[in-house]
């Protein structure tokens, strides 16, 4: 006796076709999940202002990250400003000391003024210049105690004076170049710890720094 293969009935094939179409339709309607890179909390990249004065853009970035702590990043370029306020828990970071320049344009005043008690403030990998040849300081702390401050791979040039920290506690200054543009007429102070009447340094590390064209290095 010969056994013939079973042939599905026409209605069974029709049911299978309907089921397959339904599955395909559901899959087509299922939303596609798009993976987006997560936002980096506490990180702001500075953009150049349209007028050639970047003071407002930079200060807004500093104030923004100061609320929770974070990093203000500077892409390569020259950022002209008329004075900035450094705050606690803020890191001003360039991509490389030779590629980023914060240029202070007035001929008096300080480039960056630190608020009272600017704990954990850091600046690294950029140049602080003064095209106006200011008689002030590149970085100056207003008062209080400068705790856990770090200044690394920073060039301060064009100001009469470099860095003033009146009352430090656990401060690190490394691989910095401090001077100005008067090589034939040395003037100014490179780094001052204290207010001029008393020693104001406790736990300060100054390492691999270069001072030039100054009356006093430290």
Average pLDDT across the chain, whole number:
81
In three-state secondary structure terms, 46 is coil
Candidates 50, 53, 87, 52; CA nearest to 72 is 87
Residue range 31-55, pLDDT digits in tens: 333 333 333 457 999 988 788 999 9
The pLDDT value recorded for residue 50 is: 80
Terminal alpha carbon distance of the chain = 112
> What mean pLDDT comes out for the span 84-110?
97
> What mean pLDDT comes out for the span 152-161?
94
> What mean pLDDT comes out for the span 14-23?
49
- Would you say residue 16 has pLDDT above 80? no
> What mean pLDDT comes out for the span 166-177?
93
Residue range 66-88, pLDDT digits in tens: 999 999 999 999 999 999 999 99
- Would you say residue 22 has pLDDT above 80? no
> What mean pLDDT comes out for the span 132-144?
92
pLDDT band at 121 (very low <50, low <70, confident <90, very high): very high
Q: What percent of the chain has pLDDT over 70?
A: 73
Domain map of the chain by residue range?
A: 43-211
The pLDDT value recorded for residue 62 is: 97
> What mean pLDDT comes out for the span 106-119?
96
Greater confidence (158 vs 38) lies with: 158
- Give domain 43-211's CATH number out of 2.70.98.10, 2.160.20.10, 3.40.50.970, 2.10.210.10: 2.160.20.10
- Stated as kind and residue range, the H or E segment containing 12 is helix 10-29
163: Cβ contacts below 8 Å, ≥ 6 apart: 137, 138, 139, 140, 151, 156, 173, 178, 190, 191, 192
Greater confidence (29 vs 52) lies with: 52
The pLDDT value recorded for residue 5 is: 52
- Stated as kind and residue range, the H or E segment containing 97 is none
pTM value is: 0.77
- Would you say residue 107 has pLDDT above 70? yes
> What mean pLDDT comes out for the span 199-214?
79
The pLDDT value recorded for residue 196 is: 57
């Amino acid at each position: 006796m010969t056994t013939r293969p079973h042939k599905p009935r026409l209605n069974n094939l029709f049911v299978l076709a309907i089921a397959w179409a339904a599955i395909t339709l559901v899959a087509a309607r299922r939303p596609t999940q798009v993976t987006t890179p997560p936002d980096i909390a506490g990180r702001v990249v500075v953009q150049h202002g349209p007028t050639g004065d970047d003071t407002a853009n930079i200060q807004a970035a500093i104030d923004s990250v100061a609320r929770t702590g974070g990093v203000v990043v500077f892409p390569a370029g020259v950022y002209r400003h008329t004075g900035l306020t450094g705050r606690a828990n803020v890191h001003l970071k360039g991509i490389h000391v030779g590629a980023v320049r914060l240029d202070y344009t007035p001929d008096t005043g300080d480039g960056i003024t630190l608020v009272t008690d600017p704990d954990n403030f850091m600046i690294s990998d950029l140049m602080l210049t003064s095209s106006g040849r200011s008689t002030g300081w590149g970085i100056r702390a207003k008062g209080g105690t400068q705790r856990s401050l770090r200044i690394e791979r920073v060039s301060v040039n064009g100001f009469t004076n470099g860095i003033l920290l009146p009352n430090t506690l656990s401060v690190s200054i490394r691989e910095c170049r401090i001077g100005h543009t008067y090589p034939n007429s040395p003037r100014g102070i490179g780094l001052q710890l204290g207010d001029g009447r008393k020693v104001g340094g406790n736990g300060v590390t100054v390492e691999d720094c270069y001072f030039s064209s100054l009356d006093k290095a430290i």
